[in-house]
Amino acid sequence: MVHMTVLGDSLFYITAFFIGVASPVSVPDEQRLFEDLMMGYEKSVRPVINANTILKVTFSLKLNQIIDLDERHQVLTTNVFIDQAWRDENLRWEPANYSRIRSIRVPSKRVWLPDTFIYNNADDGSTGFMQGTYVLLNHDGIVVWPVPVKLKSSCKVDITYFPFDDQECILRFGSWIYSGSWIDYRSLRNDTESPVDLTTYVNNSEWDLLSVTLKKNIRTHSCCDDPHPDITYVLHIRRKTFYYIFNIIVPCVMLSALTLLTFWLPPTSGEKITLGLSVFLAFSMFMLLIAEEVPATSESVPLIGIYLCVVMTMTSLSVIMAVIVINLYNKGHKTKRAPAWLRILTLSWLSKLLFLKHDLIKFAKDVILDDERKGAYACRKHSFSTKQKDDLLYQELETLSLENQFIRNRRKASKTEESLPATPGNEKGEEYQSLKEGTGEGKESKHADSEMSDSEGTRDNNNTTKNGKHKKDTPRSKIPEVCRTRSALYQRKLIVAEWQQIASVVDRVLFWFYFVSTVASYILILVVVPNCNYKKWNEEIWRKQQNYHSSM
């Protein structure tokens, strides 16, 4: 009885085991579908029934972000989603046989994948091939392979208009080993849509994305005659200039304004040259900062570099101009009058053109003291008039004029005069002697007054010439020499004043030349050239977009 019970239990478990194994409910439909699809599947062979059939791979790009463009290494870093789709003839099934399952996800390493490669790959840590974890299988054989990837691609950077530059970077995808006779790439987007999905795009802080165009290329290689198609996305980006304007251009404009101040400093100040050299050194520092931002290339000079070279050149010219003005200002002490053409050009024409009033006569009245002017009136007439040398009345007027001048100057130095003792018979001489010692006349005037005092002290004595004739020696006999000395002194002062006024006119002319040249260079380099470049790029973008829509 016991043996019968044990035998019955054994038969029950064996029967239940075989029933469970044979029951279709024990295996999930998705697993069963996967096992059926993978049974006899070879992932190394193109999934086509006819070997002459060209496998069409649709390609779609979703741009999420432009992370960075390294101008120095010329590498563009982007974050994208790449979707590829193709039909696999060996991966079809009827949904009704598998509980209406229309699609499943399987590991990408279990199915055939196109060897899509980014031709301008610049990532050292990546081979350039697309790598994904799973693919989506549809019941009609359509395989969708979405791949999120961070791309590093080479981008030829043109720094000619930096920082007002536009860049054109490409992303070129294609098969590495299959030719156009085996695989053909096509875009998934139609002609009414943008070639790139930008629904999740995040703006970059340095670059603006202007447009993205798509172009399909058919290339042939020297190794073989078969065409090799590829999908090329062209990204048009424009640099945001606010950072460079605020940190480089605005300080340079302010430094240029400081350079303008060198023309308003007086020529006698040595700070004219010092200020110009200080500004030049500041521009050199900005040049070093820009050298770190742009790639080291000899193909072109960036626009900002040209701008800095221009302003540094203008700053150097301002220093040279300051040296010229200082030289002209001090030229009157060492040389004769300015050439006639220079006087006419500066004091007659340029001064009127610049609304500068330069009256040498008025300046002479300011330079020569009022008491000297009255005493020198007769001297000037005596010096420059030859017809009145023998006119006693004229000589008397000269003498009285000089005597009045000496008396006024003596009153200013009365304390000195009172301290000097008087000698009989030489009262006039003591007056002239006290005037000579107590006044602030120049060396020439003192010498002339001394001679005149000596002669006046003996004017009451009779002198006899070698021929025996009697002649009266008075101060009037010394007046021509004194007048010539005073005239030379006044002429030297006027020559100095004339050169100083010429220097001031030249300084003002150079100021306006520097100002106009600086403003013109700013407008040309910072406004005209960038706008022309922007206009050219806008026309190029529009033309490529038209070609894209017409080719689709």
Question: Where does the pLDDT of residue 328 fall: very low under 50, low under 70, confident under 90, or very high at 90 and above?
Answer: confident
Query: Strands 207-221, 224-239: parallel, antiparallel or unpaired by DSSP?
Result: antiparallel
Q: Note the pTM of the prediction, 2 decimals.
A: 0.67
pLDDT surpassing 50 at residue 440: no
Residue 256's pLDDT band (cuts 50, 70, 90): confident
Provide the percentage of residues in the chain whose pLDDT is more than 70.
68
**Residues 6 or more apart from 90 whose CB is under 8 A from it?**
37, 41, 47, 141
Q: Which pair of structure tokens corresponds to residue 319? A: 């220093």
**Secondary structure class of 78 (helix, strand, coil):** strand
C-alpha closest to that of 405 among 441, 363, 360: 441
Please report which confidence band the pLDDT of residue 89 belongs to, taking 50, 70 and 90 as the band edges. Answer: very high
CA distance 319 to 274: 8
Q: All domains of the chain, ordered by start, with CATH? A: 29-240 (2.70.170.10)
**pLDDT band at 20, cuts 50/70/90?**
very low
- For residue 487, what pLDDT is reported? 66
**Comparison of pLDDT for 275 and 408, the residue scoring more:** 275
When pLDDT is averaged across residues 503-511 and rounded to a whole number, the result is 87
**b/e sequence 44-56, b meaning 16+ C-beta within 10 Å:** eebbbeeeeeebe
Average pLDDT over residues 265-283: 82
pLDDT confidence of residue 436:
42
For residue 183, the model assigns a pLDDT of 93
Q: Which tops the pLDDT comparison, 520 or 451? A: 520
With 80 as the cut, is the pLDDT of residue 157 above it? yes
Cis peptide upstream of residue 163 (ω within 30 degrees of 0): yes
Write down the pLDDT at residue 106.
93
Predicted confidence band at 86 (pLDDT cuts at 50, 70, 90)? very high
pLDDT at 475 over 60: no
User: Is residue 185 predicted with pLDDT exceeding 80?
Assistant: yes
Which pLDDT band holds residue 547 (cuts at 50, 70, 90)? low
The pLDDT of residue 239 is: 93
What pLDDT does residue 501 have? 83
User: Per-residue pLDDT for 323 more than 80?
Assistant: yes
Residue 83 vs residue 27, higher pLDDT: 83
421: helix, strand or coil: coil
What pLDDT does residue 423 have? Answer: 44
- Is the pLDDT confidence value at 478 over 60? no
Provide Rg for the chain, Cα atoms.
Answer: 51
Q: Let me know: does 100 contact 33? Beta carbons within 8 Å.
A: no
Dump the DSSP string for 337-358: PPPHHHHIIIIIIIHHHTT---
> The tokens 């007027």 sit on which residue?
397
pLDDT the model gives residue 252: 86
Tell me what pLDDT residue 47 has. Answer: 92
- Amino acid (one-letter) located at 473: D
User: What pLDDT does 362 receive?
Assistant: 53
Mean pLDDT of the chain: 75
In the numeric block, which tokens belong to residue 283? 């521009």
Average pLDDT (169-177) is 93
CA atoms lying within 13 Å on the CB side of residue 99: 10
Work out the pLDDT band at 225, boundaries 50, 70, 90: confident
Read off the tokens for 53.
Answer: 């059939």
- Lowest-confidence region among 242-246, 366-370, 453-457, 534-538: 453-457
11: pLDDT strictly greater than 80: no
What is residue 94's predicted lDDT score, i.e. its pLDDT? Answer: 94
Which range has the top average pLDDT, 155-164, 217-226, 498-507? 155-164
The predicted model gives 105-111 an average pLDDT of 92
pLDDT digits (tens, 9 = 90+) for 53-75: 999 999 999 999 999 999 888 99
Amino acid at 332: G
Q: Reduce the DSSP state of residue 245 to 3 states and report it.
A: helix
More confident residue, 246 or 492: 246
What is the chain's length? 552
Contacts of range 427-434, beta carbons closer than 8 Å, 24 or more positions apart: 428/453, 428/456, 428/457, 428/459, 429/453, 429/454, 429/456, 429/457, 431/406, 431/407, 432/406, 432/456, 434/410
